[in-house]
Amino acid sequence: MKEIKVGIIGAGGIACSVHIPNYQKIENVRVIAVADIKAEVAENAAEQFNISNVFTDWEDLLKIDEIEAVSVCTPNAFHAEPSIAAMKANCHVLCEKPMAVSVAEAQAMADIAKEHQRILQIGLASRFSPGSLYLKSIIDSGRLGQIYYGRAVAMRRRGIPSWGGFTRKDMSGGGTLFDIGVHAIDHVIWLMGAPKPISAFGSAMTKFGDRHDVINPDWGAWDVDNFDVDDFATGSVRFENGAMLTIETSWASNIEGIGGSYILGTNGGVHVVGDTIFEQRNGKLANTPIELPSGPGGHETEVRRFIDAIRNGLPSPVDPEEALNVQKIMNAVYQSTETGRSVDLS
Ligand SMILES: NC(=O)c1ccc[n+]([C@@H]2O[C@H](COP(=O)([O-])OP(=O)(O)OC[C@H]3O[C@@H](n4cnc5c(N)ncnc54)[C@H](O)[C@@H]3O)[C@@H](O)[C@H]2O)c1
């Protein structure tokens, strides 16, 4: 089996906790290069994971011809440029979420993937947990009937990221919506069968992140004075098939930290990812248990599927068009915040 050689762009938290260790678990896959604008960060990752080529400029990494796959693990505002350059350099790309910070960037990424016939997979790992994959198979079998509503919830009571550029718009492009809202939105829409969004309305707010009196027990102090992104966002999306989606996400709110995503179908409803189907059976209301399988977590499976797609010439495990639709919805919520109006996505 041919060895697949991998390069890593951005060597911070997610690169060292998810991407590199999971590549290193796979037979005949080798991470041979790492780039980070901070030399020390790149060198530390190289030492920790025994990676031979170390750069401070990702353009140098892309000059290594034998690299076939690249992980882009930089802050959100720096996803599009290296992803596009990597695909132009003939590499397949696993790029962290959100796809980009603007629809134009995300569209350009999807277009280049198509033009150069490269796999572009966005790091929407919630799809790949064993329970999620099983639930997807149940929904796709038609068991829940027609899916007409989804609720995408990612609420933290206090969980403001205190590292990296998450709380600065110039680095992240957005706040909680781009950080954790993106997972919930993508997860629920994917389970709903990826209907096409036609309009969105919503609002993104800053209620906690710019206040010195707010505590953040798990992650500690963040840069309050330069906090310029949302810490709460809500929205409503209409799809071409008539289905609707509600969005609720926060890094901080005065409610217990809750998930709470669910999907409603004409024959059954489920929490995401729950172990019960709520339905009507034989003239009675029934709470039918489903046995969720166990297995590797979503992050490991996303990396394995990326490699599998490269090896076997499969389409991207996360269709770039679906990630682009999620980007359109999130940017529509930001646009709607400014205008107070619904945004046409048709
Ligand atoms: N899928 C998930 O569950 C998940 C979890 C956490 C983070 N993320 C995503 O991963 C990305 C990185 O997050 P993180 O927590 O690892 O942040 P981080 O700050 O720990 O790491 C980012 C690294 O990128 C480097 N960098 C910045 N600009 C660069 C450039 N132009 N070229 C090369 N390196 C550059 C920084 O120096 C830093 O070391 C973000 O987009 C975030 O949304 C995803």
Q: What is the CA radius of gyration of the chain?
A: 20
Helix (H) or strand (E) holding 113: helix 103-115
The overall average pLDDT reported for the chain is 97
C-alpha of residue 245 to centroid of ligand 1, in Å: 29
C-alpha of residue 73 to centroid of ligand 1, in Å: 5
Instruction: Tell whether the model's pLDDT for residue 1 goes beyond 90.
Output: no
Half-sphere exposure of 135 (CA within 13 A, CB side): 29
Query: What integer pLDDT is reported at residue 41 of this predicted model?
Result: 98
- Torsion angle in degrees (nearest 10) through CA of 241, 242, 246, 247: 30
Q: Which residue's C-alpha comes closest to atom 19 of ligand 1?
A: 164
Structure tokens at 130: 């064993």
State mean pLDDT over 36-40. 98
Q: Does residue 216 contact residue 222 with C-beta atoms inside 8 Å?
A: yes
C-alpha of residue 169 to centroid of ligand 1, in Å: 14
User: What's the pLDDT band for 335 if we cut at 50, 70, 90?
Assistant: very high
Query: What integer pLDDT is reported at residue 177 of this predicted model?
Result: 98
Helix (H, G, I), strand (E, B) or coil at 123: coil
Query: What integer pLDDT is reported at residue 29 of this predicted model?
Result: 98
State mean pLDDT over 1-20. 97
User: What's the pLDDT band for 186 if we cut at 50, 70, 90?
Assistant: very high
Contacts of 136 (CB under 8 A, 6+ apart): 127, 190, 191
Ligand 1 neighbour 194 (Cβ under 6 A)? no
Q: How far apart are CA 326 and CA 183, in angstroms?
A: 9
Q: Does residue 231 contact residue 251 with C-beta atoms inside 8 Å?
A: yes
Q: Does residue 235 contact residue 198 with C-beta atoms inside 8 Å?
A: no
Q: How far apart are CA 266 and CA 149, in angstroms?
A: 10
Ranges of H-type helices in 116-208: 130-140, 169-172, 176, 182-191
Q: How far apart are CA 273 and CA 142, in angstroms?
A: 17
Amino acid occupying residue 166: F
Helix (H, G, I), strand (E, B) or coil at 342: coil
Q: Quick one: how far is CA 219 from the chain centroid?
A: 21
Instruction: Tell whether the model's pLDDT for residue 48 goes beyond 90.
Output: yes
Name all domains of the chain by residue range, CATH numbers in brackets.
Answer: 4-126+298-315 (3.40.50.720), 130-295+328-344 (3.30.360.10)
Q: What percent of the chain has pLDDT over 70?
A: 100
302: closest CA among 122, 74, 154? 122
Query: What integer pLDDT is reported at residue 258 of this predicted model?
Result: 84
Ligand 1 neighbour 37 (Cβ under 6 A)? yes
Instruction: Tell whether the model's pLDDT for residue 105 goes beyond 90.
Output: yes
Q: Which residue's C-alpha comes closest to atom 9 of ligand 1?
A: 96
Helix (H, G, I), strand (E, B) or coil at 83: helix
**Per-residue pLDDT tens digits for 272-308:** 999 999 999 999 999 999 999 999 999 999 999 999 9
Query: What integer pLDDT is reported at residue 277 of this predicted model?
Result: 98
State mean pLDDT over 20-46. 98
Ligand 1 neighbour 75 (Cβ under 6 A)? yes
**Per-residue pLDDT tens digits for 69-92:** 999 999 999 999 999 999 999 999
Strand-pair category, 197-205 with 232-239: antiparallel
Q: Does residue 215 contact residue 205 with C-beta atoms inside 8 Å?
A: no
User: At residue 331, what are phi and psi to the nearest 5 degrees?
Assistant: -65, -30
Ligand 1 neighbour 76 (Cβ under 6 A)? yes
**Per-residue pLDDT tens digits for 210-255:** 999 999 999 999 999 999 999 999 999 999 999 999 999 999 999 9
Instruction: Tell whether the model's pLDDT for residue 107 goes beyond 90.
Output: yes
**Per-residue pLDDT tens digits for 119-175:** 999 999 999 999 999 999 999 999 999 999 999 999 999 999 999 899 999 999 999
